[in-house]
Amino acid sequence: MRAGIDHVIDPDVTPASLVLELQTLLLSKLRLDFNQYLNLLYAVDVSENELRDFSSENIEDIAIHASYLILKREWKKIWLRHNL
């Protein structure tokens, strides 16, 4: 919601379904609303360096890589909250 994306993820989603849903959402935003894609990456605080270091120009590969970076960043935030 902070990124201006009106998409709700079911709290009971399986990890595999979550990854697929996130990849599909990112692919949609890459194709249809690049600003929302960027806003989401900014809101999650994904590393710009990790994004830039990815060399593929294939839009599906970019969505997969971005979803990995989002999930990695969110996991890091959770870990920090519980361990500091």
Q: Under a CB-based contact definition with an 8 Å cutoff, are residues 3 and 42 in contact?
A: yes
Is the pTM for the entire model greater than 0.75?
yes
Q: What angle do CA 80, 40, 58 make, to 5 degrees?
A: 110
CA 40/CA 3 separation, integer angstroms: 5
| Boundaries of every domain in the chain | 15-83
Burial class (CB in 10 A: 0-12, 13-18, 19+), 18: middle
pLDDT digits (tens, 9 = 90+) for 6-23: 888 899 999 999 999 999
Q: What pLDDT, on the 0 to 100 scale, is given for residue 6?
A: 87
Q: What pLDDT, on the 0 to 100 scale, is given for residue 84?
A: 84
pLDDT digits (tens, 9 = 90+) for 47-76: 999 999 999 999 999 999 999 999 999 999
Structure tokens at 39: 């806003």
